[in-house]
Structure formats: C-alpha cells, structure tokens
Structure 1
Amino acid sequence: MSAPGSAVSGVPHLDVDPFDMTFFADPYPTHERLREAGPVVYLDKWKVYGVARHAEVHAVLNDPATFCSSRGVGLSDFKKETPWRPPSLILEADPPAHTRTRAVLSKVLSPTVMKQVRDRFAAAAEERVDALIDKRSFDAITDLAEAYPLSIFPDALGLKAEGREHLIPYASVVFNAFGPPNQLRQEAIERSMPHQAYVAEQCQRDNLAPGGFGACIHAQVDEGAITAAEAPLLVRSLLSAGLDTTVNGIGAAVYCLARFPDQWQRLRNDLSLGRGAFEEAVRFESPVQTFFRTTTREVELSGAHIGEGEKVLMFLAAANRDPRRWDSPDSYDITRRTSGHVGFGSGIHMCVGQLVARLEGEVMLTALARRIAKIEITGEPKRRFNNTLRGLDSLPVTITPA
C-alpha cells in the first residue's frame, strides 16, 4: 500500500489551499493549475484528494456508492467527528435513506408545482423592477439578488414575516461549515446560535402557513412517507437550498450581464434567453464552488488509486470552465448549450432548490431585460468570502430605463 498521494500512486502533490483568502479573491489561475496537474491531485495542506476536471468531477458526483455523502460533504468526516449540527437528510445522506427523503422534496418542488407558482414569482419580479427603476442607482446584491428571493421564497415556504433577517446569515453558516477549521468557519459557527434557533423553530409544523412548501412537507408525515422527526429537517434543507443558490445565482447573472453589455443586448433582443442567461451565469461564476465526498472502498479514478475513507474535494467551478468540456470556457455566452454544467451538482444529489433558483433567475432577468436598457457598474464590487460559496457582498449599479 502506497501512502496517500505518493509518487507510487502517480498522483501529483500540490501545495494549494483552496480555503485561503488569496485563493477566494482569484481562484481561476489555481483552478487551471489543478486541472493541468492531472485528473486527480493530492492537496497536502488538508490531506485530501482533489478533482478539478469536468470528467472526474462528473464521475465522482454520479457514483454515490463509492463516493458517499453520509460522512459529510465538507472536510469533516462524520465517522471520525461529531457534526456541528444534525446532518442533512438530503445533502449528507446516501441511498436508500436519501432516496426516500429526496422523493418527498421532489414532489413538493415538482415542475408542476413550479408552473403553479410561476405567475406569482413573475409578478414579484416585476414589482421589484418597478422599485429599482424608481431608485435608478442601487446595490444589485442587497436591493435585487437578496431582496427579490426574500420577497417571494419565504412566503412560498410558508414562513412567518418576523425573523426573516436570519435566513441569509443561516445559509452562509451552513456553507462556511463545509470548509476546514479556519477563521471563516469558526466565526460563522460562533455567530450561528440565533440563526440556528430561528430556523429550528420555523421548521416546526405549527409555525408554517397552510398551503406552503413547508406545510406540504409536513403533510407527507400523514402519508407515511417520512416521520414527524424528519419533516422539520427537510424543511430546513429547503431553507438553505432554496435561498442561497438563488441569491448567488441572480447576483452572478446581474454581475455578468453588467460586465458583458453585448450579452445584455442579446437578452434584450430575445427575452426567451432569460433561462440561458441565468444558467450560463451559474456555469461561469459557479456560486457553489466545491463539495467533498468520502470513499467507501479502494477505487481507481482515471488511473489514480484512492484508498477507503479518503476525502475527495470536487472543484465544481474548475470543472465548469474545463476547456476539455467547453469551447471558450472563460467567456460568458448566454446562447451556450450549458447542459452538463455542475453548478447545481449532478446525479442523485443535484441541488434540491435548482428548480426554484432557475424559475426565480429566469423571471427576474426577463423582467429586467424587458424594461432596462443599460446596467452600469458604478462602484467597486465587494466579494463575500465563504468556504464554499462564491458571491458578492456589494455591487453598486446604475440603470437606464428602456
């Protein structure tokens, strides 16, 4: 048996720290280095294997029997340490348990349900654009990327009006916690008690409005599909999955369209490209940058031998710009065929909030393109650093109405 990542196993060692502030500020040169070093690399800093090419990331995501999630999708191995909160029944579970709980969420957030809420979501997007046109200059993150999902998703879920300010900080804690015990993770968990308490309380059946997504999840208890103890945890999954992906996805799309005015014009000329513009922003910016899996057995991946119980870090963002998979991967093109990108994951663990994110992204970008001629960035964009998510904290813009 060769040591993990030793020369014998043919896996190159890299001294890369993908959870370092300088990496977060500009990950692209390192992504290229990771992809070009080999199909599988070993990161000495955290003693984990890494995959950054599209083919290997896709392979790991689509083999849950070998690369499991139940030992944690962050750096922590749940077999060796206690999780910081009760594990997610969706994200941090394997079949057959995952299959049962996932079926419930797939039913609650089905394409049919999305069709039913579409008009309501589109009307809220129009209202948001009205408010933005009145302002002319605003922060595209706080006043748009966050404000729009917060105005519609918590209502659809059935949450009470008070306390919603905990929602975005909660999602940020969850995704920071997937990282190593660095400052970002420590501070997030230390600050998390009020957010966790709020979320735990809101996920209880009595606190959710009838007819919302949350109540529909609890109704599955009566059907015998899940237990009364599982229902609040599934509502919790929906809370982080349905909000952060959307906020960061819409933020990424507006940031892209403001930087690439030719693509903005394309969208204005053909509003049916709204979905494509959102999808390409998710590929191009990859709001969710990384996820881990743990090997359940010895496995060979693209010629590299990986032992049992090893953490494998998937660089989703690097895979989404892999020139082996995409033509001109570093250009933002809203007419690109984006199917196959891993911005929402792939396989059985594909993001449970993806249909909500896609619907909100599409109706928001369409509403903006219909009524706004120009989006200009008028101040320095500021990044929000997170161990797993890539997004902006602030994006000052000025719009010119059509």
Structure 2
Amino acid sequence: MELDVDPFALDVLADPVPADTAIREAAPAVWLPAHGVWATGRHEEVSAVFRDWGTWTSTAGTGLADIRRGEGWRPPSVLLDADPPAHTAARRVMNRVLAPRALADLEARFAEVAAAVVDDAVVAREVDAAVALGERFPMTVLPDAVGLAVEGREHLLPYAALNFESMGPHNALRAEAERRAGGAREYVARQVRREALTDDGIGAAIYAFADAGDITEADAALLVRSFLSAGIDTTILALGSVVHELARRPDQWAALHADPGLARAAFEEGLRLHTPSPVIGRTATRRVVIGEAEVGADQKLLLMLGAANRDPRRWDAPDTFDLHRRAAGHTSFGAGVHNCVGQVIARMEAEALLGALARRVARLEPAGESTPRLSNWLRGFSSVPVRLVPA
C-alpha cells in the first residue's frame, strides 16, 4: 500500500503523532514514495524485524542512506552498522564494560550530581527543565563516565545533532546541523583516542579489551565514539519529556513524590510515549512479505518506533502517560542483538535525576508551553518551562 505521508516534513516533525498513526493504521507495511522506502509502525512487526537480523540487516546503515554505497558521513559503527559475526566481538566487549557490577561506582557520582542539579533548579524556582535538568545532568555525568576532559565538551551536542540529522534526508535540518558542527568532528576524533581519555573511565575500559586482543585499537575508538554520538541527546530528550508529562499531571507527580522508587517506571513510560529516537532503518537481505506488501531485496524499511510504542494493539490508552503502566516491551531501546547497549547507563541517569527531583520537589507545575524540537531522527522538547515548589 502506498501512503502519501512524509515523516520528515517540517510540519509533520512539529506534530508527528498523526503521521505515525496514519502509517501504523494503514497496513502492516506501507510504501512512502516521498523517500522511496517502506515503513512499518505496528508493534508486532517492529519487534519481529528487530529480532531477525538475518533478514533485516543493519550493514546498509540504520538511516535513510545506504552506507554500502559510500553515502554515510562517518565511518560505519561497529555496533549499529554491523551484524553477527562481525558485530559479536564488539557487543561482547560492551556487555562486559557496561555490566551492572562494572558500573556500580558510578551510582554515587550520579546521585551527587543529580542532587546538585536539582538543588540549583529548586533555588531558581522556575527553570527550563529541558536545559537545567534534562541537558545539564547527562552533559555532566556521561562525559565524566567515559573519561573526557572538561575542555571542549561544548562540541558534543553539535556532534550528536549532526549524527542524528544525517540519518534523515538532505533537508534544512541536516544543513543546519552541518553548519553548526564546526570543529565538532575534529574534536570527537581527538577525544576517542586512548591518550585523550582518563585511565579510570569507560573509554579506558574499552581500550583494555583492545590490549587483550578482543577487539582492534580502531574498533575501540569507534566504540568510544558511539557513546558520544548516540548516548547524550536521546537521554536529554527522554528526561525532558518525562518532566513535561509529570508537570501536567499533578496526580502522577504526587505518586512519584510519595514514592521516588517509581522514577524508573516514569522514565520507561516517558520513553514509550515520547520515543526519543522514533525511527530506525533496516534493509531487506531478500524478498520479504509483510501483510500484503512485498519488500524487495536491498530495499529500506523504516521502523517507526514512536508509532509502535502507541500501538493500541499492544497498549491500553496508548496516548496517555501513566507511570503505573507496565511499559516493558516498548521499542525505544530496540530488541535482539541490536538492543541499545547504553540502556543501563540511561536508566541509571534517569533514576538518579528523577529520584532526586521527586524527593526535593513537592509540586511540579508548567510555567509555560513546551516547545517541540524539530529533528529528522529525534523527538522531544527543546524547551520545557516548569515551576518547582520545594518539599
């Protein structure tokens, strides 16, 4: 079935849910002539594609472009743009580097920074939560955890923006990201080197596996780069979206304030309702039939994760934020061998910040309208004005 919907049109990006709904409800898979790709927005189909890497390869890239034709702006990722067996060694290393026991020392640091960030917001009383909370906290703790020097971190957000905008079409958003990137690419190229990293961070732990022969030195650098390109903006947007929802639902905030242990549940529900990376691409290795659609070999299929996470076939009242919902099964972190390797840290960050916020703030209220962030490959808010009443 052909559908005249462009998920990357600026007006659609400003209000994406109607387009998501149209794609999801039209058929199990639809053809989008605007970009010459297939798309699926149903939870069952998206989950199945994620788990079948043999049929749906990542080696052609996870954006619109086919990186096998040299269309990528950066070297392919050894995690995102690879399938087993090439993917296996790198994934095994990251699973060990990011095992909960290996990250235990970060919990105290995350809690310390979260308390300081929240304290400053409470003193101010009115803040833009997208920046003062959602951006400030990850931009402090994640670079620290990787082992980056403090100098030059202002390049991280332009670099990440370039990464995500480049996954989409050659439009004004991508052009602006390229303009703003400036020296960000050169900065990241320097920072992923062993000698630029502290000897007690995640980056050094990755390089230790290169020393042991588990991966190459070049692959170690690419793995460090993955943290700097994929793990910051998504967490920033996810945190901002949760605060946006909680500020507008006094009963939900009261429940979290009464039980800060619900921070994890609030984060998962925010990921479901406002999927921070709402689309990802796969490419068919052979002819595949989805419903009545025949996807040809080497054709791209867009997995509309934001649509799948609001699929009424999977969720009751899917357009409603409910921190008491069991949101397990959302597609925001992927599934199968390509599930998000950084999800453990993202959850640690969310539990630290949202938990600190719940303990310190009796009432959380909107202080203005939130502003959506326009992005080819991200979803959330660029501004979330809130008022905080201390406990």
Which category of TM-score, normalised to the shorter sequence, fits these structures? over 0.9
Tell me which residue corresponds to 2:46.
Answer: 57
SS of residue paired to 2:217: coil
The one-letter code of the counterpart of 2:298 is G
Alignment of 1:195-206 (within 5 A): 195-206=184-195
Secondary structure class of the residue paired with 2:68: coil
Structure 1 position 180 matched with structure 2 position 169: yes
Within the candidate set 249, 260, 265, 2:249 is matched to: 260
Tell me the distance in 1 between the aligned counterparts of 2:122 and 2:355: 15
How big is each residue's C-alpha offset from its partner over 1:28-59, in whole Å with a ceiling of 9 and x where there is no partner? 11211111111111101111111001011111
SS in 1 for 2:224: helix
Matches within 5 A, 1:195-344: 195-344=184-333
Q: What are the Cα deviations for residues 236-293 of structure 1, in whole angstroms up to 9, with x where unaligned?
A: 0022232122111111111111122211111112222110001100001101110111
Match of 1:68 among 40, 43, 57: 57
Asked if 1:133 is matched to 2:125, the reply is no
Cα 1:193–1:97 change in 2 (3 A) is: farther
Gap regions ≥5 residues in structure 2: none
With 124-133 and 237-246 compared, the bigger mean Cα shift is at: 237-246
Q: Alpha-carbon deviation of 1:186?
A: 2.6
Matched, 1:401 2:390: yes
Alignment identity in percent? 49
Which residue number corresponds to residue 347 of structure 1?
A: 336
Question: Contact 2:39/2:302 (CA < 8 Å) preserved in 1?
Answer: yes
Gaps of 5+ in 1: 1-11
Distance (Å, rounded) in 1 between the aligned partners of 2:228 and 2:180 = 18
Q: Distance in 2 between matches of 1:142 and 1:109?
A: 27
Match of 1:5 in 2: none
Contact 1:241/1:351 (CA < 8 Å) preserved in 2?
A: no
Amino acid across the alignment from 1:324:
R
Instruction: Kindly report the root-mean-square deviation, in angstroms, between the aligned alpha carbons of the 2 structures.
Output: 1.2
- Out of 185-194 and 275-284, give the one that drifted further: 185-194
SS at match of 1:145: coil
1:174-225 deviation digits (Å, cap 9, x = unpaired): 1111101112123323433411111110000000001100111111111101
**Which residue of 1 is the match for residue 78 of structure 2?**
89
Aligned letter for 1:358?
Answer: R
Paired letter, 1:289:
P
Shift of 1:125: 0.7
User: Which residue of 1 is the match for residue 135 of structure 2?
Assistant: 146
The Cα of 1:235 is off from its aligned counterpart by 0.2
Does residue 375 (structure 1) correspond to residue 345 (structure 2)? The answer is no
Aligned to 2:112: 123
3-state DSSP of counterpart to 1:322: coil
TM-score by length of 2: 0.97
Q: Equivalent residue of 2:102, what SS?
A: helix
Q: Check the 8 A contact 1:245/1:353 in 2, yes or no.
A: no
Letter in 1 for 2:338: H
Task: Say whether the 8 Å CA contact 1:293–1:312 is kept in structure 2.
Answer: yes
Shift of 1:147: 0.4
Aligned to 2:374: 385
CA distance in structure 1 between the aligned counterparts of 2:129 and 2:294, rounded to whole angstroms: 46
Contact 1:201–1:207 at 8 Å: present in 2 too? Answer: yes
Provide the rounded CA distance (Å) in 2 between the counterparts of 1:251 and 1:195.
24
Q: Is the 8 A contact 2:27 2:291 kept in 1?
A: no
Give the secondary-structure state (helix, strand or coil) at the position aligned to 2:150. Answer: coil
How many residues align? The count is 391
Q: How far does residue 116 in structure 1 lie from its aligned partner after superposition?
A: 2.7
Contact 2:2 2:32 in 1 (8 A): yes
1:82, distance to aligned residue in structure 2 (A): 3.1
Question: Over residues 38-95 of structure 1, what are the superposed CA-to-partner deviations in whole Å (9 max), with x where a residue is unaligned?
Answer: 1111101111111001011111111111111110101101233431111111111111
Q: For 1:60, give the aligned amino acid.
A: V
Contact kept in structure 1, 2:39 and 2:301, CA below 8 Å:
yes
CA distance in 1, matches of 2:67, 2:236: 29
